[in-house]
Each structure stands twice: as C-alpha cells, then as structure tokens.
Structure 1
C-alpha cells in the first residue's frame, strides 16, 4: 500500500517535529488538530493512537476529525491511566463503522463530539473499562477546568482532578445507533448522552454493569458521579429517546445491572426490549426510565427485571417517572422472580395519566412470582388511570413453591377499567389483579389497594384478588376507598377462590355505589370437589343503587363450606335486596346445590349462603345509621308569611294565556328531590303556607290551581318557597286537569325562576342557580282578580 507522510509539530519544552505514517484512508478519517501531543501509529487495517498529554489519571487527545471506517480498528494506547479523553474540535460528525477501543489497559474511554455521533451497522467496542460517548461541548473537572471541543484555542490547562460532568453548548446534537452492537465488560458502564438519541436495531450490552442513555437540551449540565453514574438534576430541557426495530438494552449478569433512560419523550416500539436479570445471590440494580413529557411503549416492546430459575438474588426494582405513560399492543413492564429471591418493586409516577391499552392483546404492568420468593409491590400514582381492551395491572403468583403474590397500590383521582382482550374461548378481562392463578399454584394471592375519587369498571373488566384457574392458594384482600364506584355491563369486584377460603372485599367512604347490567361483587369460595368458606364483604356507602332486574349481585357464598359475611352500612339501598337460601330455592324452584346461584335469577340479590348445607349459611347485615333530628329541624320565626309571594295565580279558561304548558316549581332546601332517581336527604321539614311557627308543622292542607273539565285554558303555576318540604306517604303533589276552579291569588311582581341546577359549597350548602329571563312581566298580571289579559 502506498504510504503518506504527515508532518506534525509539537511544542513541549523544546520544539520538535514528529512524523506519523498512515494509509490514505486513516488520513482522511482521523485528523489530529495539533492542540495535544497525539500520534497515529502503525495505521493499516488497525491504527494505534498514543499521546503524552497526561494530567494525573487522565490522558487527553484532540482531533479536528474522527471517524472509524468499516472493517478497521482504532485503538487508544493506555499508558496506565484511569480515563482516556478524546474530543473533536472540527465541524463534522463522527461515524463509527468499525471497532473502537483501548489497548494495553482498562482505562475508561470518552469520545466527545458536539457535532454528533453515529454508530453504523458494524460498529463495535473493544474496551476493558467503561465507554462514554457524548455530544457535549466540554468535559468539566472538579477543580473547575474544562476540556472543551468548542473552544480548543484556550490554553489546555490539563488537570489531575476527576471529571464531574458534561457541559452542553448552544446546541445538543444527536447520537444514533444503527443496527450495531456495543458491549462493555461485566460491571462496566456504557453511556450515550446527547440531544436526541435514536437506537434503531442492534443492542447495548453491559453484563451486571450500567447503561446510561440521556437525551438533553442545549446548555444542559449532566453530572458524573461514582462509577460514572449520570445525574440530571441541573437539566431543565430534555430531548427525545427512541428505541425501534427490536433494539435491546441488557445488563443481565450475576446481578442485574443498572439501567437509566432520561429524556423528554421516550418511545419504545417494534419489539424493543430493556432488561436486567440476576443469576446469582446478589440483588439486582434498579431500572429507571424518566420522561419529562411521556413514556410510550407499543408493538410488543418490554421493560423487565428478573432472576433465573433457582436464583437466590432479589430482583431489581423498576421506577418510571413521567407526565404521561402509555403501554399498548402487547407491550409489558414486569419485575418477575423465578427463584427464591424476592421479586422487584414496580413504581410508576405519572403527572397526568397512565394508560394500559391492550388493543385486544395482553398488555401488562406486573410483579409476578413463579418461584418461592414473594412477588414485589406494584404502586401507581397518577391523576388518571385507564386500563382497557386487554390491559392489565397484576401482582400475581403462579408459584408451586408457595411463593406469595405481591401487592398492588393505586393512588389516582380517576380509575377507569373497561373491556376485554382476546376472542372467543381465549377472551380475558382487562383489570387490576393480585391473584393466585393456574393449576398447581400453592402461593396465596396478594393484596390490592385502590384510593380514588371515581372508580369505573365496565364491559367485562375485573378488579380481583381471587385464586383462579385451578389454584390451590388463598385469595387476598381488596380494599377500595372511593367517592363513587360504578360497576356496569359485567364489571366485577372479585375475591373468589376455586378451593380455599374466599378473600375479603372492603369498600370504604363511598358516596354512591352503582351496579348495572350483570355486575358483581363476589367473595364466593369452593367447588363440589374443593370446599372452602366464603369471604367477607364490607361496604360503607351513602347510597347503593342497582338498576332493577339487571342481575347485579353481591355474594359471599360457599359451595360446601360456610357462607361468608356481608356487612353493609348505608343510608339508601335501592334496587337490590338480601336473599336467604330458602328464598333462593323458592325462586329458582330447585334445591340442587349446584344450581343455587343468584346469577340464575334476573333480580339483584345479596346472598351469603352455603349452597350445600343450610346450617352453614353466612350472614348479611344491613345497617342504616340513625337520622339525627337536630339536623333536620330548624326553629322558625313566628311572624305570618305573605302567601301571595309563595303561590302564583292560576288563570281561568277564558284568559288569553290559555294553551301554555303546565308547570310546578318547588324552591327551598331539603324535601323531596326534583327527580325520582335523586337521593333522599334527612332535611325534610316543611314550612306551612301562610304560617310561621316555632314548631315543626305537619298538618293537612291543599293548594290547587285547575281548569274546568271540557274548557280550554291553562291551569296555573304552583310555586312553593320553603326551607324544607315534607310529604307524608298519603300526600301528593300533582299537576293535571281536574274539575273545579281554584281561588285567584295575586301574582307577585318579581319573576320567580325555576331552578336549572345547583352548586355545592365547601361547607355543604347547596345554592340553586338559573338563567334569569329578561322578559318584562305582562301588565295584566298586576290585576288582583282577573287574568283575562284585556
């Protein structure tokens, strides 16, 4: 090969000239800028880079252009330092298409090019230390000095201190990995820190080590801690990170290594995978994904920590923090134990929402156990949690070695669970689960806790702590604190078992519990082959409402064991009622234990029976708190009331206002609700027309406004102003045609407007609101005795 001679002049005490011999390809790919004592040696298919600019444990190199061509090797010579730091001061990106590494030692290698870095299809690393690639403008040291790629003319006051961070300039260029495999040795760090980071195909591997991916904005500072752990506390603006085309980030080893992805929008798609698994007795490191705007996973992508079968080591935790998390289309986030080590915890904090959308395929967030170790805790904090169409959140056990399931904790303002996934016989529900499942499983199910304002479970979705699918384990406990709970169209709360005792369901501080269209709350237990006692259901709700004849049930039955206990504390129980075993037999027309199931009735039922033994039926207790009379009675003033301001005049059939619709308006606090499906309140004290008194008035009276039969006209408006309205069961408020004409009453001058809505103040006071009409009252209404309009 024809060689090219390149002269370089280096000033180091004495003026000396050195010559390096390199083939034309390296001369075009790597150009030294002359600001450091850097030399290229023996460059053919391999090139060795040496230098003498050493400061303490750091060796410095500077290039105006730096590329590694395909099928070539570029190695930095390690003279026994801790860090080899190289910068690119020119204006072009670095293309790494071959092998980049360190020769003769285990120094960490830094490559800094603020113009961008691309790792091509054949790019590889050959380093025994760690590797950091960044598009920062300079490397900052503890003593304040910087090794800058954008200001290389500044005197290179080389420092003996350690690097403490990466400083970005006015721009933050991208880093790309294109179908290449970059790997460091066990326990080492592999870091890519730039603007946008695009990982398309290929893999990053650091067995039992650490992988850092950072996408940051201009003028950012990223700190370097011990073991090259990156910190983003000073970063205000982030850039995007993309994993696609099956890209893999992996830290499997004797302990699962640490992984951190930090960016603005972090997207994983096309079966991309981020994983760290433990093989020995060491606890795995934490996997962290922080997206300032969003983290989105789709198309069978996964994030996982785990351990191998028989492993003694605990599984590493997973922490995800973002504004919006979306997991869809068969993707998953999971921390799974297969050995005796305990499962890792999965913690998710989302400032806006978490959405698990299966799109018909199983899509999960899970902490599961298949071994003797206990499953980890899965905790979600977000204003809004949406699970639908095959999405699941699960802390289940499938262990044959008595490994118990983990715990699920949800803190969200709104939780909506809906739909199913799969088709036909393979259909499965969306939901939240802390279950024991599958034949042969002996581990007990975990617990599930939901704290929310509004919980909706509909269209076949389930929230469950059951032991199902042939499991021999026990069900867990389901605790829900919510202002409103809506179960609709086969929505279910379950703590059922196939063999052992049923679990417990506790619904606390609920204002309204609504059941519709074959929805269920169940803690039933056992089968003919495996008896067990029914679980316990405790409900504390202001009102429980079930749409009649929709087959929505609350059950704590047992097939062969003892029925459970159902305790309900409520002010209103509407559309659903307790049913004894005898009543169930009568309605079903059978005493066959296998058929004593309230689901076979269209009614809404509450049962806690033993299907086999009447002597073992459980207990249903419904408690209605006593009404405090002092809250419903108010001392009234004794002065008479001007009834002309309370009842509007009715017009006779001869008036010109005939033909308008009827209207009856009640204005006041308390009394009967304006709609039949509104809740009753204890404030039902009436103020009698024309009378004020210091005592409660409950006496018969009648006020009417009618049009004679056969005559044309408009019967008048009835308007009542009161602080409370009480109507005994034999009383009526009605508005229809009848015989007789009511006495005329003067209509008030001011308009009385029907309330169209209300506002509840923080102290509980209700303010009625309406749109005030701008129409001027008709002059004829001022007449005392006639409504003729003439």
Structure 2
C-alpha cells in the first residue's frame, strides 16, 4: 500500500450500545508494505455508540514507513479494538512524513470519556522486529479508562535512532504492561531529535550579539589581548545583569540564558565563570550548559573546574579545583547557541529547559564569554516543521522501552525475557512517573549477558508524587560500562534486586 487507506469502525451517531464494528483480517501470502502515509485503521469516532473491531494481519515480512500506521483509536465511550500481527520474517517500522507524523502501530483511548484502549500483540518468533528513525509501537490512554498492553514474541528486537516501544497514561486510566520475549537478543541504541518539541526556540534570552566584544588584555580572560579571541564580560550583581553600563535585565531567582550566533565552522568558544565563589555574601556554586538553540541539543555541561584554567578570577576551593564553571570548546558548525547558567545541582537533557537550583537574588558572578566568528544581531532561528495536529506517542529523543505515567493513573510493568540485553549510546528503559500515578516494575530475565554501555539509562524514578517501581534483574553476566564523560546509570527509588545466575 502506498498513500492508501483501509478503514473500518464506527462513525458519529451510528450503531447501538452493544454494537461492535467489523474486524479487519488480512492474510498476505507474501510481504506487506505500507508507505507514504498509508493507513489501516479500525476507529471509533466521536459520538459513536459501541466498540471498535480488531485488526489481524498475517504476513511473511512487514514494512511500515513514511508516516504509515496500523491503528485502533476510540474517541467515544466504546473500547478500541486489539491489533495482532503474525509474521515469519523481518518487521521494519521507521521514518516519518515531512510534517512529522511518525510511522507506527498504535492503540489509543483518546479523550477523557473514551473507553479502554486495545492491546497490541506481535507474534514473530522466528524473525526480527526493527524500529528506527522515530518508528514506534505504542498504546496510550488519555482517559479514565486503561490503556492496552503490548506483548512481543520474537527472535530479535532492535531499537535504533529513536525507535521506541511505549505505553503511557496522561489521565486516571492505567498504562498497559510491556512484555517482550526475544529468544536471541534485545538491542537498544542511539537517538533521534527529529520533530522533538524544542522549548529553546521560544525562550527569552540575553542577546550577546548586541554587545561589543573586545580584545583588550584582561588577566581574568583566557586568550585576551592583541590577536586573541574577542570577549565580553557579563556581570550578575545582586540586582541586575549588566555589561559595563548596559543593563541586560533583572537578577531574579532564575536560570540565566545568553544567546549568540556563530558564522563559521570550527570556532572556539570559552565560557568562564569568575567570582561565583568568593567566600562571602552572594556565593553561588554555578553549573553551566551549552546548547544548540536551533536543534535543542545539549552540547556540553560543566560544574567545577581547575582553578588554573580560564585565567584568573576564581578562588581555589578544594585541591586544585574551584566551584566556578568553565567550558572551553570548539563549535563545529554555524548556528544560534545558548549558554545557560544554573546552580548546583541543576540538570537538563536534550530539548529541555534547565531544571533545579538557580542563582538567587543577591547571588553574584561574572561570566567571561570569548567567541571566534561571532554573528550579527538578529540572526533568525529555524522554523519548527512539526504539525501539532499529528499525534505521536513517542517520548524524548532516545531509543527505548517506556511505560510511563504522566497523570494520576499508574504506569505499566515492563518485563524482558531474552538471552542478551544490550544498551548502547544512550539507549533507554524507563518506568518513570511524573505525577501522582505509580511507576511500574522492571523485570529482566536475561540468559547470558546484560550489558549497559556509555550514556545509557535504566530507571524507575519518581519525578512527581507517585511511588516508584522495583527493578529486578536475573542474569548470568552483568556489565555496566561508562565514565565521567559517558554516564551510565541504573536508577530506582525502590529496591534493586540483582541475581547473578
């Protein structure tokens, strides 16, 4: 199918309370391909009475690309139908349309009064399931009814470049469970920032392009002086943020964001906090963050630095270190960038605003900014191509498995049974809870190897008021690899049970 639709369901005002929409059953002797926003749907429309029918597809291999979907959605009181895929070859789900509709398999309870969402089952015990480039399998409830469960029976599962499997709740209903049986392996790796919401695009900032950068020698500024890198000094006083006699704004309890543009490839940039720690009033333990404002990507973070770096202006606090922050980097491509100044222990990820501690009224510091190839005032940011009318269940940028509560309903449990489970390059497994709902448990039954590598994260974290889930790991061999620059985490607010077989 290309740019085609196959639909059943219940339309507005039709049917009787006990009615059930017809089912869609497809038996394909060969492969099945859905491309160019093709759709197989069995939906219950707003005002319809009754339940949706199921979708059953039996095929050899299955490919879903270009924003195509298989879906059952209920916008009324009735339940949405289940989706069952039976295959004996590769299943590939990837890609999106130009306006950001992601390819995937979806069941959804869409509005407050909608009935339960359908389950998704994939039976492909001899084949693989590959999700990439924002492709997804998801069940979502935005209602007081429960969302559907996801059950996968596979040989191999690969999630790459933002491929995700998701169950989620944003309301009173509970998210469905995720159960994966992969006889050989589960591999989760990478990320995609395509069509992620970017709050940095609408952020009010202090514009460094509008200020005069100078090269006069300054003992507190690295690379200053004739032939050096042009710099500007931004001072946060107890009341204001200033550059010399120019007032940029008030010094409130806030993260301070400063924007600037770079015109040339491979331009050096230095951001050096001075006098954040002085031993007297106004002390602030700074933490600074460098972003690409156009893409939302977090480029670098620094909390403490060596006192000898960044020239003078910082007091030695412990050993050879100071609590004043420093980033000395090379910006690889032209664009619009942000430096954000927070306070320890503030934190952030890609396409997010900095959260946590901020400089407070009365806190003081000086930010020395040295930039090669600074742009001119008024450089425009890229337009956001995303169409808000497109519903995608995906969360964040990273490839992963997610069963999350963003409402008062509980998140689902997440169970993986496989011989090898490997997370690389930011791969993510999460049952985090962000509101009053409880987080689900995570259970790994791994035969020979569980390997979690740099920048990957397994978590069941309370980020709201609900309870967190347990994390239970049974495996023969467990490897947790990472370092200061590639942080690997397993985080839970409740017990972690680890059994080496």
Q: TM-score, normalised by structure 1?
A: 0.32
Distance apart, 1:285 and its partner CA: 2.3
Q: Where does residue 92 of structure 1 map in the other structure?
A: none
Pair 1:266 & 2:91 matched: yes
Mapped partners of 2:139, 2:118: distance in 1: 9
Match of 1:436 among 430, 441, 462: 462
Mapped partners of 1:389, 1:343: distance in 2: 27
Distance apart, 1:445 and its partner CA: 1.6
Mapped partners of 1:349, 1:464: distance in 2: 24
Mapped partners of 1:209, 1:418: distance in 2: 42
Match of 2:453 among 391, 412, 418: 418
Pair 1:324 & 2:156 matched: yes
Q: Where does residue 391 of structure 1 map in the other structure?
A: 427
Pair 1:210 & 2:54 matched: yes
In structure 2, relative to structure 1, the CA distance for the partners of 1:359 and 1:370 (3 Å cut) is closer
Q: Where does residue 488 of structure 2 map in the other structure?
A: 461
Match of 1:302 among 136, 139, 148: 136
Alpha-carbon displacement from aligned partner over 1:261-296 (angstroms, at most 9, x marks no partner): 111211111131110011446332210112231111
In structure 2, relative to structure 1, the CA distance for the partners of 1:206 and 1:389 (3 Å cut) is same
Distance apart, 1:209 and its partner CA: 2.5
Q: Where does residue 116 of structure 2 map in the other structure?
A: 283
Mapped partners of 2:91, 2:410: distance in 1: 31
Does the Cα contact within 8 Å between 2:108 and 2:118 map onto a contact in 1? no
SS of the residue aligned with 2:153?
Answer: strand
Q: Where does residue 175 of structure 2 map in the other structure?
A: 343
Q: Where does residue 476 of structure 1 map in the other structure?
A: 494
SS of the residue aligned with 2:151?
Answer: strand
Mapped partners of 2:185, 2:105: distance in 1: 22
Alpha-carbon displacement from aligned partner over 1:89-114 (angstroms, at most 9, x marks no partner): xxxxxxxxxxxxxxxxxxxxxxxxxx
Distance apart, 1:410 and its partner CA: 0.4
Any residues of structure 2 matched to 1:577-656 within 5 Å, and which?
Answer: none
Does the Cα contact within 8 Å between 1:257 and 1:277 map onto a contact in 2? no
Does the Cα contact within 8 Å between 2:139 and 2:166 map onto a contact in 1? yes
SS of the residue aligned with 1:252?
Answer: strand
Q: Where does residue 446 of structure 1 map in the other structure?
A: 469
Mapped partners of 1:387, 1:461: distance in 2: 10
Mapped partners of 1:185, 1:366: distance in 2: 29
Distance apart, 1:412 and its partner CA: 0.1
Pair 1:363 & 2:399 matched: yes
Alpha-carbon displacement from aligned partner over 1:159-207 (angstroms, at most 9, x marks no partner): xxxxxxxxxxxxxxxxxx1111221123322232212111112111111
Distance apart, 1:331 and its partner CA: 1.2
Q: Where does residue 80 of structure 2 map in the other structure?
A: 256
Mapped partners of 2:26, 2:35: distance in 1: 14
Match of 2:67 among 240, 246, 249: 246
Does the Cα contact within 8 Å between 1:281 and 1:314 map onto a contact in 2? no
Does the Cα contact within 8 Å between 1:240 and 1:265 map onto a contact in 2? yes
Q: Where does residue 643 of structure 1 map in the other structure?
A: none
Distance apart, 1:434 and its partner CA: 1.1
Does the Cα contact within 8 Å between 2:72 and 2:118 map onto a contact in 1? no
Mapped partners of 1:393, 1:200: distance in 2: 29
Q: Where does residue 166 of structure 2 map in the other structure?
A: 334
Larger Rg: 1
Pair 1:190 & 2:208 matched: no
Pair 1:352 & 2:166 matched: no
Q: TM-score, normalised by structure 2?
A: 0.50
In structure 2, relative to structure 1, the CA distance for the partners of 1:353 and 1:270 (3 Å cut) is same
Give unmatched runs, 5+ long, in structure 1.
Answer: 1-176, 216-238, 421-429, 466-474, 484-790
Give unmatched runs, 5+ long, in structure 2.
Answer: 11-20, 44-51, 97-102, 193-396
Mapped partners of 2:41, 2:104: distance in 1: 12
Mapped partners of 2:168, 2:73: distance in 1: 14
Mapped partners of 2:147, 2:191: distance in 1: 29
Alpha-carbon displacement from aligned partner over 1:442-487 (angstroms, at most 9, x marks no partner): 112211111111111111211110xxxxxxxxx222111125xxxx
Does the Cα contact within 8 Å between 1:256 and 1:305 map onto a contact in 2? no
